[in-house]
């Protein structure tokens, strides 16, 4: 096991500041499990297993995850027009 903690990973989160349930305490992630397949052996190399993506993929609903942020630029939706339709592309 590692003796020192991993550095924070930066992800973009496309959800409102109020969270999924409007409490401000939840969010939804869309995460792809990061694995590396050696092109010669055609086998997965566990030494190159994605740390954060696998941690998140192995988590169960209700598990605690430390979050920090925001970092960089922040996009907040205007509150004066709540019925506005937005299309966001990433």
pLDDT tens for 36-75 read 899 999 998 888 887 888 888 899 988 888 877 766 666 7
pLDDT tens for 27-38 read 777 788 888 899
Q: Are 71 and 10 in contact (CB under 8 A)?
A: yes
Write phi, then psi, for 37 (nearest 5 degrees). Answer: -105, 120
Alpha carbon dihedral 39, 53, 33, 13, in 10-degree steps, equals: -130
């Amino acid at each position: 096991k590692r003796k020192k903690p991993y550095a924070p990973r930066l992800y973009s989160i496309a959800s409102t500041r109020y969270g999924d349930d409007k409490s401000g305490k939840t969010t939804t992630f869309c995460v792809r499990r990061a694995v590396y397949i050696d092109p010669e052996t055609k086998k997965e190399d566990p030494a190159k297993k994605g740390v954060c993506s696998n941690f998140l993929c192995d988590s169960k609903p209700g598990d605690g995850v430390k979050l920090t942020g925001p970092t960089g630029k922040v996009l907040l939706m205007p509150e004066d027009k709540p019925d506005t339709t937005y299309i966001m592309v990433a």
